Structures are given as structure tokens and as C-alpha cells.
Structure 1
Amino acid sequence: LQMAQSLKSESIKTSPIDGQKAGTSGLRKPTKVFTSENYLENFIQATLSALGDSLVGSKLVLGGDGRYFCDVAAGRIVEICAGNGVSEVFVGQNGILSTPTVSCVIRKRQLTGGIVLTASHNPGGPDNDFGVKFKPNGGPAPESFTDKIYANTRSIAEYRVAKGASVDLSKLGRTEFTVDGKPFVVEVGKPRSAYVTSEIVIDSVADYEELMSSIFDFDRLREFIAGGTGCSPTHCMGVMGPYVKRLLCQRLGVPESQAVNCVPLPDFGGGHPDPNLTYAAELVNAMRSGSYDLGLAFDGDGDRNMILGKSGFFVTPCDSLAVLAANLECIPYFKRTGVNGFARSMPTSGAVDLVAKRLGLKCYETESFGTGSDHIREKDGLWAALAWLSVLADKRASVEDIVKAHWAEFGRNFYT
């Protein structure tokens, strides 16, 4: 425990900066744009102001994929939150949280929203890209909210900040502040709900691990892997290393030597954080050797994935969604809750529509591409991987055989 520090908020004059119009996936720009004077500050102030009457006393979560500028940006954002009367900011240890975890924390702790520092599958580094997105309820921001942000960026004249209201995010502990005479607590560790105003740094993986443990049968999956299933070198980028090590390696028994790129790096080690056959060539080549039964790849912020079978059999994202939809009874969560329907993005094939029709369920169209479920309001790459493991453990068949059996039953969809 550190002694309370007394801080005062202040207003910093600024002026509108062109081009700060965010989409559902946030605002993505070259890193050098985000690091220019007042660019980040303007956008964060515009975002917070879009919360309107719910801003003062709000509770937010903050984290990113570990790309270049994430650590500096997180510190600045905390100070801006403190200056705007936000009551609590939950921050991932070292400023790292996957996009699915941000959604998980929002729902679990009933927060107002979350700020994610990521440019998703775009490369990171000082000469590449940075991004910020806001999740008002755990899911992507609706257009009505991003329109408010954009309007604010065009009329902004100042941003508010409480300089000094940040701590070393790598260290566990608690630091108390007062901001304009009101308490503001910074804690690295488990949150304490009794604090009226606080910034809390949480274990980057813990809440997400707890949620996954409630969805999947980890004991069964561990037994399945121990029985000889060769889970390939898992190709990670950005934030996903700590999640893969905790869940796949420590909880399920996948050897850590088979988890590749597990240390978050500012430039992703020079790689491209998009999980596809081109950018995950190292994984593809390892799978083509025939030594492994399942190959997994994830993008920089953890909401996208790629599934490969033995000898490099590629499961298209469209087929992956459809196969999982047809086999949700293999997952304990859906045995308890049932399935209410399915959804796919506009460019996704109609493979899942065929499953929905067979099961008598509705299929909806969304804007964003990826695989996930109603456990959070977001795409979730590691959830998809665990879902595939659950199907494999239940069917005791190869990835290729499962996909081909699906085609035989439902038909195969192609792009033309």
C-alpha cells in the first residue's frame, strides 16, 4: 500500500484533428499519427464525452494487444479517465488484455464499457499501425455511438487530465490518490468493489480463464490431449501468448515448446498478426509434416483464429463456423443453455444457414467477421479453438474427417 497522493484535474487546450472517424472496429491509423500531438488525447476525450451523463462515476476496463505505443497510451488514457470523473478503470497487467477478455470483464463486472488498444490483424511497430476501439456494452460500438465520437472530435476544444494518476502496470499493489478531493485508487491485483473510485490492474488472463472453465470440460480436454492427440505448434501473435500458455499449456497439457511466439512484442517479432495460410506459414509447414493432428493460429488481439488439420488440411472460416454450429452438443455450456440461433457476416458463405435450417433456428447477418458465441458479445479466437478440441474429443475423428462428414450431410459451399 502506498500513501495517498493528492492530484488536481486540469483542462488542456486542443483543437479538432481531421480523420478521427471510427467504425465498429474502432479507429486505426499509422502509429506515427497516433503519437502526434494531441491525437490520442483528442480521440479518448471525444470517446469519453460520448458517454454523456453516464461518464461521471462510470467503470471502464482498459487493455491492449501489446503492440508498440500500448504501454504509453494506457498510461495517458488512465490519466484522462481520472480527469473526467471515471470512478474505476480496470487495467490488464502490463496493459495487456485480449479483445474477448475485455468483453468478458465488462459483462462479469457489469462495467460501463471498455477501451481496447489494438489495430487487430494489422502489423504493429513505430512504422506500422495502432488503433483504439471502445466497447460500450462488451460488443462492437454501434454506429450511433461512433457518430457521437466523431461529432465530438470535430468540435473538441479541450481535454481533461489528472497528471500523475497512473502506476507501473507490471507490479502488483495498491496506490491511493485523491483527484479534486475525491478518492482514486490504483490497484494491481484483484479488484475490491468497496472502493468508490479506483483504477484496478487485473490479471490479464484470470477472468477469461474462469469463463472458459465454465463453458468447456477442461478435464476431458486434458485427458483427450494426454491420450495422444498432437496439438501443433500454436502460432500466436500479440496478446495471445499468455492466454495460450495458461489455458492450452498449463490447463490442458499442450507442451510449451509447441506454443510459438508467446511473448507479446511491440512489433509482433516482425510478423503479420493475421491468422491465414500466408502469414502463418511456419504453422502450415509444421502441419504438412503430418506429425500433428490440430493446428491453431490467432491474430494480435485474440478475436480471430485459423484451424488446420493433419497434413495441413485447411478449415475455411465459413466451414469452421458451420461445423461448430452443427456440433454444439459437444460443449457443456450449450447443453445447459441451449442454442437460440446463429449469425454470420455478410461475406461469410451460407454454410451455417444450412445448419440453422436443419435445426429450425434463425440465422442473422452481422457486420464483423470471426467466430464466437453468446458467452461474450464479441468474436473469440481461443473459444473457437477450445470448441474444436471439444468436437474432436467427442467425435474421436480427425479434423478432415469431421469436415468431410459435415459436407456429406449438409452440402459444401463454395465462393464463385
Structure 2
Amino acid sequence: MTLKALILAAGQKPLSSGTGALELQPLGDTTVLGHVIRNLKGLVAPRDVIVVSAPGTLKAVQMEVGWEPALVIQDTPLGTGHAVLQAADALAGFDGDLLILYGDTPLLRPASLRGLLNRHRLKSVSLTLLTANVPQDLPYGRVRRDEHGKILDIVEQTEADDETKAIRELNVGAYIVKAATILDALKRVAAKGGEIRLTDCVKQLLHSGLKVDSYQLYDVDEVRGINDAGDLEAAAFILQKRLFRPHRQEEENEVAFGTGGWRAIIGEGFTMHNVRRLSQALANEITRKGLEKKGVIVGYDRRFLSRQAAEAASEVFAGNNIPTILCNEDAPTPLINYATAMLGSGFGLAFTASHNPPEWNGLKVFHGDGSLLLDDETRVIAAETNALTTADVIKLELDLAIEAGIVAVKDFTNQYIDAVEALIDMDAIRKAGLRLAIDPMYGVGQLTLETLLTEGRCRCHFIHNRHNPLFGGRSPAPDPDAMRDLINMMQQDHYDLGLAMDGDADRIALLDDRGRYISFNDVLVLLYWYLHEVRGQTGGVVRNLSTTHLLERLAKAFGEKCTETPVGFKHIAAGMVADNALLGGESSGGLTIRGHILGKDGIFASGIVVEMVARTKAKISELQEKVWAITGRLYSAEENFPATPEMKIAIPQRLKKDPCTTVAGYAVERISHVDGTKLYLENDNWAQLRFSGTEPVLRLAAEADSPEKAAELIAWLKQFASA
């Protein structure tokens, strides 16, 4: 069944004196009319779009459309029905359906237009109109029905009595109708003279006995048209809000990178189709840069579909004549990172969703030096991925690729462990005879860490170490709540240390000999002190915006530099390279040091913590007292606040329009909007609001002179976020 679309954009109503027609007003990255046209993508062929325009706006409309649809001029504004009649010549000989839209209704979703069309075709009716049940009293026609739900009439608001005005079902103003049917009806209305309204014609069709149906909207935001500057501002807010709608990318089959790579729900956004498209985009980038001979390394963790995704990616690289190394078994992300840098590959791929819940999976992509791709690079890769179709993907079946030698299956475990051991004082660990309790959280960290620590003659007791892609029914994130089993074991059996890792083993958490959770802020400060004072190494430290300022105090005491970066270890790695820093870390459990990989490494982090305890022969609490004697104390507090799409727009707008001068009564010295909003107070105190790049939450963080003050700051942030 053929379909054409007719957009009525000849209103010429300016928003204010001196402005152009409202349909051509800027809205987001295009204009009001641009959004209406964009909503037709994939629904109507460009050659089948007709725009009715006012005189003098023809060129602007052509530029906005971006292709060459039929453009029709309405010289005299005699009503919306008259505007449709101007397209009669363009529709001559066309006997299919006509989708009629207004050029000032940019908020209709493409899915709603598809629903309207689908219902029209399945019901085999002559006319289908778009309706919505809206609680507000808006200036739209009311849809009057009989007791059986049959549409009887559309009553304009200006003509409605009190009973009709109480009807909440509105005529939104989008229709699908046979082109010949609507044009014949309009000609009959035109014969009466005067203004020709499209709704009068629709009412005539309703009363003529033709089969009529409707498709109902449930998102009231779609109903809003653009009539004034306030509507335009509200529309901009709604469009931005939709960008942050949970799973928007997955529903639209799009790949989008966050702070730690691409992550999506399995079966929703994480599909083999998207894995292959993303691999093709990466293969295209390698080919463009002439890096084919460098090849790629593809690894994976224990998550559901990780191995299958790695094999699918390998087939795509092989199909593009790019030599590929596929890891022979599930492996920690830092091992894949190390192997990528060791071989100087074109790219390294690690299929993992890190600490996300088990229903998620994803991909981290490394440069040949082992650093993660930066934001501007991932935006380009994602855009190319989303433009590709199944037909654009080139692949070679894995068995053929292995037989041909374009894909090789290899193991880097021993080389990686050797590299880690070269950075750790294994002799000191062997002499200490430590007893360790370790929880890899059903992830990939056990083999490498057990090998490392066993060679250090440690007595290791592992829990949650078998392969379980459901991670025991929880997120494999090493936070205090998830470590209760390990804490209990520590307290009962009196181990020297307790260690936990996340699902892909790039982050850790630490328990002291009493089973007390040590915040990773404190771990970073201890390690920076240890590297400088005990090992005798020099150099600055790099931390992100959400990590303790005690590192700054300690660096100052050492005469070194402390650099602050946005959240995301890729920024920390870049800062370390720029400053030749000794240590880089983040409060969420990740760190690396100069001379090791440009990514966080939970295996190495565990090893260096064990070395610190072995070499100093001191308890964690004793080491903390030594460091606090230099830095003083600061106390951290964090809380995750469920984030709605509206919050992601409204909170940054409020903070920028009305900058905070105080937080919980404490003076704000300066504000940073580099990554979320960070409010700097006196004496290295601070408070921060930042939307997560991997989960639908608003992260609240604070650091203050006392636990009570830190709690005050968090309480203020929560109140601000919920206002």
C-alpha cells in the first residue's frame, strides 16, 4: 500500500516581532519543522513528502528538508483545509493513503506515527485520526463517541458546551486518509466559500458514514504544539528529556558509549546484530588508518553471551582482512588491556559490562597503547555503527577464519602475570606468609590472582569463584553490602587481609585484618604514601572529580602535583601520560601506576596492597595513622539517587541559572561543571552531583572535615535534587 505525507507549514505565525515563522524556529539541533520531517524517516520515502509552505519561506524549507520533496506554496492563508487543497496537483493520479501532519507539532514520536499507520491499515478504514486523553484543558477539538466507542463527531473547543468541554479525549490533528477522499471532501467544503478548515472536512467524512477509527497517544508531551516562545522552550526540554529516557538507545537499536565503554541490556541493546555492526565500524576505522597489519585482540569475561560476542566480532575483523587474536578463555579486562599494549594492536576489545547487573553486557575498546578510546572517538564510532545495516557487515565464519590463519586463538595469562610480578616485590610477600580471604564475585579474576598470590606463598581462601553468569543474582560490584560473606569469614577466621574484585577484575575492595571495610579513597592515599615513602618512587598523582582531596594534600606534602580529571579511567590515563604521574586512581576501586597498563587493574592493585602489608609489617590501621599524621582527616560520603530523564535536564539548568553560593550553610568558593557539578568549599571540603554514565542514577558525593558534615552535605544535595 502506497503512502505519501503532507506537512502543513504555511502558518507564518511569528513567535514575536521580528522573528520568522514558528515552524522555522530553532529547536535542538534543527528547527520545529525539521523535527516534524525527521519523524517521517523510515516511514515515508523522501520523494513522497509534500510540504505546504508560505511565500518567501520556500528556500528555508528546502534547506531544512535536506532533500527535494514536492514543495507547494499557499499564497493566501485561507485555512488548513485550503492548504491541503494546494497540494491537489502534486497528488494528481495518486490513489493511496495520505498522512497529514502540522508543521508546528514536532513532539509526535515516530512510533506514534507508525502506530497510526498500522492501525489504519489493519482496520481497513477510510480515515484514522490521532487522539489523546489529556487531563489539562487544552485548545483542541474534543472527540465525541457513542456508548459503544464509535466516533460521532469532533467538536472544536470554541464551539463546545460545558458537557463537551469536560471530554478529555482530544483530536491531536494528525490523520491518515485516502488522498482522493480528502480532496473530494475539501472541494465540497470549498464550494461554500470562506475559510476552509481541515477539521470541518474531517467532520464531514465522519458524518458521511465512512469507516473511521483512531489511534491513541499515551505520552501527553506529544500533544504539545508550538504557539509561543514558552511552548518552544518546553519542547526543547521534552526533546532533551527523551535523550535520557532509559534504554532509548536500545529501543532504537543504537549503540552509545558511556564513561566505561558500551553497555546495554542483553537482548535489548546488546545483540549480536549490534556487536557485528560495532565491530564493522571498528574494522572500518582500522582500514582507514592503514593499521590492518597491527591486527586486533578480542577477549571476553564470564557474562552471558560474552564468548559468543567475541567470536562474532572476530568473524567481522577476519572478513575485513584484519588479523585477529581471540583469547582462548574468559580473561580479566586488564589482561586484555596488557596484551593489546604488548603487541601494539590496532584495537583491543574486551566484551564485559564490568560491575553492572547480570542482565547487562557491553564492550571496552582500547588503543594500541592500552588506553580506552576517548569521548570524541567513541562518538564517531557510535555514529558510524548506527548508520550501518546488516548488509554492510562483512564477516568470515570462525572455523574458516581459524583454518585460514586470519584468526588465531591464544593465551596471554603467563605473560600478563609475569608483567605484574615484575612490578611487585614478590620476595617480600613470600617472606610475610600472609593469610588472605578473596572474593572474585564469580568473575574472571580468580585464575590470575590465585596464580600471583600462590607464587607469593600466600595462603588464599577463595569464595564465589565458580563460573556463574548470573553472579549469584546480584551485581558483581565490590561494595560493602555485596561483601557480607567475605566480612563474616574475615571476622570468624582472622585473615590478614580480605580482597574482592568486580566482574571483570579491573577494580578491587579491601578489608583489614578485623574485617573492616576500607574505603578506596583511603586505599589510594595509603598506596601513594607507600610508593613514595617506602618504595622511594617520585611523581604526582591523578584522580577524578569524585575522589578524595587527601591525595592533593599528600602530593603537596611530597612537593608533587595532583591532577583532577572527569570521571572515567580514560581521563585518568591521559592525565598520567601528560604529567608522567606515579599513580592514577578513582574512588570506585580502580588504579594503575607508571610503567604498568594505561587502565585500571584489580589484579595488580591486589598485589601491590599485599606487598604494602608484607613489606611494612604493619596493620592497615597503623598505616592509616601514619598517613593521617601528614594529611589530617577528611570523611567521604556517597549516595545514589534514582534519576529520571527530567532530572537530567532540570538539575543542570537550575545549577547554571542560579549558581549555589552556599551548601548546607557552608560557603561555596568555586564551582566546576566539567563533569556534573562540583561545589568546592573551604579546607578541601566539597559536594558533587553527577549523573552516571553507565546507570540511571544521580551520584551524590561529598567530603568534609567530619562524618556529620559530610552527611549534612549529602542531605542538602538530596533535597536539592528532589526539589
Same fold (TM over 0.5): yes
1:152 equivalent among 368, 384, 400: 384
C-alpha separation in 2, matches of 1:24 and 1:141: 10
**In the alignment, structure 1 residue 246 sits paired with structure 2 residue 477:** no
- Aligned counterparts, 1:258-269, within 5 A: 258-269=461-472
Deviations 1:302-349 (A, max 9, x none): 111001102222211111111100111588xx65xx433211111011
Q: Tell me the amino acid that sits aligned with residue 295 of structure 1.
A: G
- Asked whether the 8 Å contact 2:339–2:412 carries over to 1, the reply is no
Aligned to 2:610: 389
Kindly state the Cα deviation for residue 47 of structure 1 after the two structures are TM-superposed: 2.7
Aligned to 2:366: 135
Deviations 1:161-193 (A, max 9, x none): 0123468xxxxxxx540xxxxxxx2xxxxxxxx
Aligned to 1:209: 417
- Asked whether the 8 Å contact 2:429–2:457 carries over to 1, the reply is no
Kindly state the Cα deviation for residue 55 of structure 1 after the two structures are TM-superposed: 4.6
**In the alignment, structure 1 residue 112 sits paired with structure 2 residue 346:** yes
Deviations 1:280-315 (A, max 9, x none): 211111223361121100001111100110222221
Deviations 1:255-285 (A, max 9, x none): 45x0122233322243421011111211111
- Asked whether the 8 Å contact 2:272–2:312 carries over to 1, the reply is no
- Overall identity of the aligned pairs, in %: 25
C-alpha separation in 1, matches of 2:502 and 2:629: 31
Aligned to 2:299: 63
Kindly state the Cα deviation for residue 216 of structure 1 after the two structures are TM-superposed: 0.9
C-alpha separation in 2, matches of 1:242 and 1:405: 34
C-alpha separation in 1, matches of 2:261 and 2:270: 17
Q: Tell me the amino acid that sits aligned with residue 363 of structure 2.
A: V
Kindly state the Cα deviation for residue 35 of structure 1 after the two structures are TM-superposed: 5.5
Aligned to 1:372: 592
Kindly state the Cα deviation for residue 90 of structure 1 after the two structures are TM-superposed: 2.3
C-alpha separation in 2, matches of 1:50 and 1:102: 20
Kindly state the Cα deviation for residue 240 of structure 1 after the two structures are TM-superposed: 0.6
C-alpha separation in 2, matches of 1:200 and 1:37: 21
Q: Tell me the amino acid that sits aligned with residue 450 of structure 2.
A: K
C-alpha separation in 2, matches of 1:166 and 1:290: 53
Aligned to 1:43: 278
C-alpha separation in 2, matches of 1:25 and 1:48: 20
- Name the CA shift for 1:295/1:394 in 2 (closer, same or farther; >3 Å): same
- Aligned counterparts, 1:7-406, within 5 A: 18-34=253-269, 36=271, 38-51=273-286, 52-87=288-323, 89-94=324-329, 96-124=330-358, 128-136=359-367, 137-157=369-389, 158-165=392-399, 175-177=402-404, 185=405, 198-225=406-433, 229-249=434-454, 251-255=455-459, 258-289=461-492, 291-329=494-532, 338-366=537-565, 367-368=567-568, 369=586, 370-374=590-594, 375-406=596-627
Q: Secondary structure at the match of 1:131?
A: strand
Aligned to 1:194: none
- Name the CA shift for 1:200/1:329 in 2 (closer, same or farther; >3 Å): farther
C-alpha separation in 2, matches of 1:236 and 1:253: 23
Kindly state the Cα deviation for residue 99 of structure 1 after the two structures are TM-superposed: 1.4
Q: Normalising to structure 1: TM-score of the pair?
A: 0.81
Q: Normalising to structure 2: TM-score of the pair?
A: 0.48
Aligned to 1:190: none
How many residue pairs get aligned? The number is 362
C-alpha separation in 2, matches of 1:145 and 1:135: 11
C-alpha separation in 2, matches of 1:57 and 1:223: 45
Kindly state the Cα deviation for residue 37 of structure 1 after the two structures are TM-superposed: 6.0
C-alpha separation in 1, matches of 2:281 and 2:322: 14
Aligned to 2:4: none
C-alpha separation in 2, matches of 1:282 and 1:27: 31
- Name the CA shift for 1:154/1:39 in 2 (closer, same or farther; >3 Å): closer
Unaligned stretches of 5+ residues in structure 1: 1-14, 168-174, 178-184, 186-197
**What is the RMSD computed on CA atoms of the aligned residues?**
2.3
Q: Tell me the amino acid that sits aligned with residue 619 of structure 2.
A: S
C-alpha separation in 2, matches of 1:84 and 1:77: 11
Kindly state the Cα deviation for residue 54 of structure 1 after the two structures are TM-superposed: 3.1
C-alpha separation in 1, matches of 2:347 and 2:507: 21
Kindly state the Cα deviation for residue 403 of structure 1 after the two structures are TM-superposed: 1.5
Q: Tell me the amino acid that sits aligned with residue 268 of structure 2.
A: V
- Name the CA shift for 1:291/1:406 in 2 (closer, same or farther; >3 Å): same
Q: Tell me the amino acid that sits aligned with residue 48 of structure 1.
A: A
- Name the CA shift for 1:35/1:383 in 2 (closer, same or farther; >3 Å): closer
C-alpha separation in 2, matches of 1:324 and 1:292: 20
- Asked whether the 8 Å contact 1:78–1:166 carries over to 2, the reply is no
Q: Secondary structure at the match of 2:293?
A: coil
Higher Rg of the two aligned structures: 2
- Asked whether the 8 Å contact 2:435–2:495 carries over to 1, the reply is yes
Kindly state the Cα deviation for residue 160 of structure 1 after the two structures are TM-superposed: 0.9
Q: Tell me the amino acid that sits aligned with residue 161 of structure 1.
A: K
Q: Tell me the amino acid that sits aligned with residue 45 of structure 1.
A: Q
Q: Secondary structure at the match of 2:377?
A: helix
Q: Tell me the amino acid that sits aligned with residue 340 of structure 1.
A: G
Q: Secondary structure at the match of 2:448?
A: helix
- Asked whether the 8 Å contact 2:328–2:411 carries over to 1, the reply is yes
Deviations 1:390-414 (A, max 9, x none): 1112211111211222112221221
C-alpha separation in 2, matches of 1:37 and 1:218: 43
Deviations 1:207-266 (A, max 9, x none): 2101112111213212212xxx322244443111211221123x123345x012223332
C-alpha separation in 2, matches of 1:37 and 1:377: 29
Q: Tell me the amino acid that sits aligned with residue 258 of structure 2.
A: G
C-alpha separation in 1, matches of 2:422 and 2:609: 16
- Asked whether the 8 Å contact 2:486–2:498 carries over to 1, the reply is yes
- Name the CA shift for 1:93/1:233 in 2 (closer, same or farther; >3 Å): same
- Asked whether the 8 Å contact 1:21–1:150 carries over to 2, the reply is yes
Higher mean C-alpha displacement, 316-325 vs 306-315: 306-315
Q: Secondary structure at the match of 2:593?
A: coil
